[in-house]
Amino acid sequence: MRNPFTLLKRRWSDSRKARTDGGTTSQAGSILDRDLVRSAPFWLPPFLLVGLFIYGAIIWNIVLSLTDFQGLGSPDYSALDVENYVIAFFGGTPSWSELTVSPIWNSAWNTVVLMVSFSVVCLGLGLVLAILVDQEIRFENTFRTIYLLPMSLSFVVTAKFWLYLYNVETGLVNIFLGAVGLGPVEIVQNPDLKLAAVAFALIWQFSGYAMIVYLAGLRAIPTGHFEAARVDGASTIRMYWRIIIPQLRTATVSALVVLTVFSLKAFDFLFSMYGGYQPGPSADILATRMVREAYANGNWAYGSAIAVLLFVMALAIVAPYIYTQYQRGEL
Amino acid sequence: MAGLAGCSGGGGGGDGGNELELLHAWSSGDGNAAIEALIEGFQEEHPDVEFAEEPVNGAARSNLDQVVLNKLQANDPPSTFQTWPGKTLEKFDGAFEDIEGDVWDEDLKENYLAGPQEQAQYDGSYVTVPLNIHRINNLFYNTAVVEAAGVDPESLSSASDVVDACATIDAETDAVPFAHQTSGAWSTGQLWETILLGQAGIDGYEAFINGNGDREQVESALDAVVDLTEYYPGDSSSISFTEANTMVMDGDAAFIHQGDWAAGAYGNEDGFNYGEDWAQVPYPGTGGNYLLNMDSFPYMANNPSPEATQQFLSYCGSAEGQVLFNEKKGSIPPRSDADVSSLNNFQQDQFEEFNAADNQPPSVQHGLAISPDIATNIGNAFSGFLESNDAAETAEALINAFN
């Protein structure tokens, strides 16, 4: 993934350099001869398409969230205000509805809890798995495949699958809990366990991905570091903790970004587990709330406002990563 | 094909021919058989009308609504689509056209009962044609199981009688007394509205759907639901409606409260016969009421095929079309003059009860009685109720759903 802007900048400075070196061609000829112009047929169409459909759509969505667009018809862009955000934070009766609209705190909080717990546990588990698989064990490839396999399943499949596993009477999870004396427990509709159960299933699905990223990171560390640590008499735990793990920072950050994005997609999982976009207050996330507002109620502008808030949350997590990469000149 | 249609959609459909664009979500099972039968019957009478029939796949209706809304935003309405009548129509406010006189002639007005006729109207004009009626207030039971426990469902007369009967079944047999699913909120929503109708009567029920519900009545009906939870299957939160219904068919459960689509599965099961192995009573306390869930086809304004659409809707309003459709769907025709002799015995009994019913109130859970945003609030209330089983808190949320 190379940023088109950087590419552009480099191209410009290249051509400028050439000019100060004393180009002899005429001005008009030099514009047409520039790399930037000559390569335009290759980069311009995707650049415009991405610009229009990704960034254009984001901007349109932000504008839409400032309107009162509700129901059928077309939005009125002449009167923009932040009412939808006020409603999102404080609740109340907006001008476009006769009903009271509740604020988004509950689903925002659930989203954060899900995002953080899922990402952190996934990374931890992925690291442990990667270190284990890295011990030059037998059947290494087989284990790697087994751990990674759940990721190839769609959320719809895993949601139905875990619905079976969590079954109070016949589910494997409850049979196991029964065997260790914790008795069968209601999980799927238990307000205290619901969100944890969703996070657990997602962790099962994606820790294999974290493992692969870490494994690649581990393989990139020269054997000399391991040997030097051994020679200096470091214990295994100390070696990993002080020497190896600090070198996995880049792997951690890039895995974290991808995992965060996956957790925002938990909508599919909740939708198929609870048969719709009403998973109940203790598992309601911003994505389900957004779809309810937009498609069940036709509150398009309010749905857009929730989408913008979700976007800002995702950006808040991804931005520091992009920024550090930029500072290190890796972008 | 769909992609192509999408690309040229902005153009506005072009020649305005006689091609009827019909959107529905009956992409499989009995629903699909029913719509095929209806279209086949219609085409025999009108061989010149072309169909661009598009089943919209996915989670039943919500996905279909989305497709229709997108088309309406793009100013490219279909000729007609499958929708619940009543307040659900508010979601498509302004997208319909009055068809009184053209489709809703004297014949239809005479032969539709007051309840369904009211649901066909939006803001006082007739805009849609109800095609079938599912009843919500049924209590189905496995005859062998209730007999083994010494319970006579016919003798039950209130919601608390059902709870007592469940206690007896629990004590006397190994079967689950009340098959119910709680992974999604809709089954519990319709159970509650049925009990409310029984306890508060038609007046209390209508007060609720008009936003003037009595808190105590609402909470008392919720309490009755809480009393029943004890008799649900232990794993109710992990099963679907189909699995709960199968428990009744297998003799693993005694009762199930459901719309009469549940009976469709019984009819397909060999050796599980109406009147012998299973039967139905109106949910105790709701006798004399036929709690309605209907599907209908509206007439869209700016119609791409005006003449063909009117012909089709008139056919949907005819006794012949309705019988063809309902034969396969398992529901009953809304027209009281329909000849139901080709329907099965259960449908015939339901049809008789429908025509004799004192009231035909619209269902809350199935979108007839309340506008979509209130329905979302009520859905939220019940998805919370499944977690907490807190009647007081849920009653508060249900009353506030209208504010």
| Closest Cβ opposite residue A97 in set B69, B373, B387 | B373
CA nearest to B90 within chain A:
A71
Interface size A-B, in CB pairs within 8 Å, comes to 106
The reply to whether B232 and B338 lie within a common domain is no
| Closest Cβ opposite residue B234 in set A72, A99, A168 | A168
Selected for mutation to probe chain B from A60, A72, A292 (highest B CB count within 10 Å) is: A72
pLDDT number for residue B246: 93
Predicted-complex ipTM score: 0.82
Q: Please judge whether A164 and B238 are an interchain contact, meaning their C-beta atoms are less than 8 angstroms apart.
A: yes
Q: Please judge whether A298 and B383 are an interchain contact, meaning their C-beta atoms are less than 8 angstroms apart.
A: no
pLDDT number for residue B11: 34
Query: Is B1 part of any domain?
Result: no
Assign residue B316 the CATH number of its domain.
Answer: 3.40.190.10
- Within chain A, which residues score under 50 in pLDDT? 1-2, 8, 14-19, 21-25
Give CA–CA dist A68/B234, Å, rounded.
46
Interface of B with A in 289-318 (CB under 8 A): none
Interface of B with A in 47-86 (CB under 8 A): 59, 62, 65-66, 69, 72-73
pLDDT number for residue B126: 93
pLDDT confidence tier of residue B206, bands split at 50, 70 and 90: very high
| Alpha carbon separation from B213 to A100, B203, B230 (Å, rounded) | 17, 10, 27
The reply to whether B91 and B168 lie within a common domain is no
Query: Is B250 part of any domain?
Result: yes
pTM of the model: 0.85
The reply to whether B152 and B274 lie within a common domain is yes
Query: Is B5 part of any domain?
Result: no
The reply to whether B106 and B161 lie within a common domain is no
Rg (CA), chain B: 21
What does the pLDDT average to over B239-246?
92
Reported as a single tens digit per residue, the pLDDT across B112-152 is 988 889 999 998 899 999 999 999 999 999 999 999 999 99
Between B36 and A13, name the one with better pLDDT: B36
pLDDT number for residue B14: 39
The reply to whether B84 and B122 lie within a common domain is yes
The reply to whether B157 and B223 lie within a common domain is yes
Give CA–CA dist A83/B232, Å, rounded.
45
- Structural domains of chain A in order of their starting residue, each with its CATH number: 1-7+25-103+300-331 (no CATH), 106-298 (1.10.3720.10)
Query: Is B357 part of any domain?
Result: no
The reply to whether B206 and B263 lie within a common domain is yes
What does the pLDDT average to over B379-387?
94
Tally of structural domains, chain B? 2
Query: Which residues from A are below 8 Å from B185, CB to CB?
Result: 276, 278, 280
Reported as a single tens digit per residue, the pLDDT across B273-310 is 999 999 999 999 999 999 999 999 999 998 988 899 99
Are B218 and B403 spatial neighbours (Cβ–Cβ below 8 Å)? no
| Domain range enclosing B45 | 17-133+295-352
Q: What is the share, in percent, of chain B residues with pLDDT greater than 90?
A: 67
Q: Please judge whether B185 and A280 are an interchain contact, meaning their C-beta atoms are less than 8 angstroms apart.
A: yes
Q: Please judge whether A295 and B66 are an interchain contact, meaning their C-beta atoms are less than 8 angstroms apart.
A: yes
Going by their DSSP bridges, the two strands B19-24 and B80-81 should be labelled as parallel
The reply to whether B286 and B322 lie within a common domain is no
Reported as a single tens digit per residue, the pLDDT across B248-264 is 999 999 999 999 889 88
pLDDT at B4 over 70: no
| Closest Cβ opposite residue A72 in set B59, B95, B233 | B95
Query: Is B9 part of any domain?
Result: no
In SS3 terms, chain B reads as CHHHHHHHHHHCCCCCCCEEEEEECCCCHHHHHHHHHHHHHHHHHCCCCEEEEEECCCCHHHHHHHHHHHHHHCCCCCCEECECCHHHHHHHCCCECCCECCCECHHHHHHECHHHHHHCEECCEECEEEEEEEECCEEEEEHHHHHHHCCCHHHCCCHHHHHHHHHHHHHHCCCEEEECCCCCCHHHHHHHHHHHHHHHHHHHHHHHHCCCCCHHHHHHHHHHHHHHHCCCCCCHHHCCHHHHHHHHHCCCEEEEEECCCHHHHHHHCCCCCECCCEEEEECCCCCCECCEEEEEEECECCCCCHHHHHHHHHHHCCHHHHHHHHHHHCCECCECCCCHHHCCHHHHHHHHHHHHCCECCECCCCCCCCCHHHHHHHHHHHHHHHHHCCHHHHHHHHHHCCC
The reply to whether B108 and B61 lie within a common domain is yes
The reply to whether B52 and B156 lie within a common domain is no
CA nearest to B386 within chain A:
A189
The reply to whether B170 and B34 lie within a common domain is no
pLDDT confidence tier of residue B219, bands split at 50, 70 and 90: very high
Selected for mutation to probe chain A from B83, B240, B373 (highest A CB count within 10 Å) is: B373
**Residue labelled with tokens 């934070």:** A89
Conformational region of residue B324, where left means phi above 0, alpha means psi within -120 to 50, and beta covers everything else: alpha
Q: Please judge whether B72 and A190 are an interchain contact, meaning their C-beta atoms are less than 8 angstroms apart.
A: no
Query: Is B211 part of any domain?
Result: yes
pLDDT at B16 over 70: no
Interface of B with A in 94-133 (CB under 8 A): 94-95
The reply to whether B175 and B246 lie within a common domain is yes
pLDDT confidence tier of residue B31, bands split at 50, 70 and 90: confident
Q: Please judge whether A99 and B388 are an interchain contact, meaning their C-beta atoms are less than 8 angstroms apart.
A: no
pLDDT number for residue A330: 65
CA nearest to B94 within chain A:
A72
Query: Is B223 part of any domain?
Result: yes
What does the pLDDT average to over B366-388?
92
Interface of B with A in 180-219 (CB under 8 A): 182-186
Selected for mutation to probe chain A from B66, B239, B383 (highest A CB count within 10 Å) is: B383
HSE-up (13 A, CA, CB side) for residue B172: 17
Q: Please judge whether A188 and B237 are an interchain contact, meaning their C-beta atoms are less than 8 angstroms apart.
A: yes
